Structure 1
Amino acid sequence: MDYALTVFDKSGELLLNESYTFDTDQEAIDHGRERLQEESYMKTTHRLVRSGELLLFYR
């Protein structure tokens, strides 16, 4: 399945925009959290989606 991880700053500027493929939602969620931690974006507005379904969100 295809997933998209995006991160925005308060002005709406796109900071991170990645797409990837995993077999399960949990694999994608785990990877998304790892990427957010690597980039220090855990407390920055972000979302992880699959086919329009929101899997992770922080505002």
Structure 2
Amino acid sequence: MKTYTLTVFEKTGEKLLDETFTAANDDEAKRIGEQKLKEKQFEHKTHRCTTSSGKLILFHR
């Protein structure tokens, strides 16, 4: 399992969410990240999901 970090920002730069989770691969992590964003109604906020090595797998501005 790999570790991923999902971060959501307000337009002012304020961090609204900074959550770490694990997934088997990047595709699964992307699905989990999108699900978490929808649950918290952050899908239209600026967000990113990265691997522990810094690879960007999900981004919205």
Aligned equivalent of 2:28: 27
- In the alignment, the residues of structure 2 paired with residue 39 and residue 52 of structure 1 have an alpha-carbon distance, to the nearest angstrom, of 24
Identical counterparts, % of pairs: 46
Normalising by structure 1, we get a TM-score of: 0.95
Normalising by structure 2, we get a TM-score of: 0.92
Aligned equivalent of 2:38: 37
- In the alignment, the residues of structure 2 paired with residue 54 and residue 25 of structure 1 have an alpha-carbon distance, to the nearest angstrom, of 10
Question: What CA RMSD, in Å, does the superposition of the two structures yield over aligned residues?
Answer: 0.6
The one-letter code of the counterpart of 2:12 is S
Q: What stretches of structure 1 of length at least 5 have no aligned partner?
A: none
Q: Choose from 43, 53, 56 the match for 1:54.
A: 56
Q: What stretches of structure 2 of length at least 5 have no aligned partner?
A: none
Aligned length, in residue pairs: 59
- In the alignment, the residues of structure 1 paired with residue 54 and residue 6 of structure 2 have an alpha-carbon distance, to the nearest angstrom, of 12
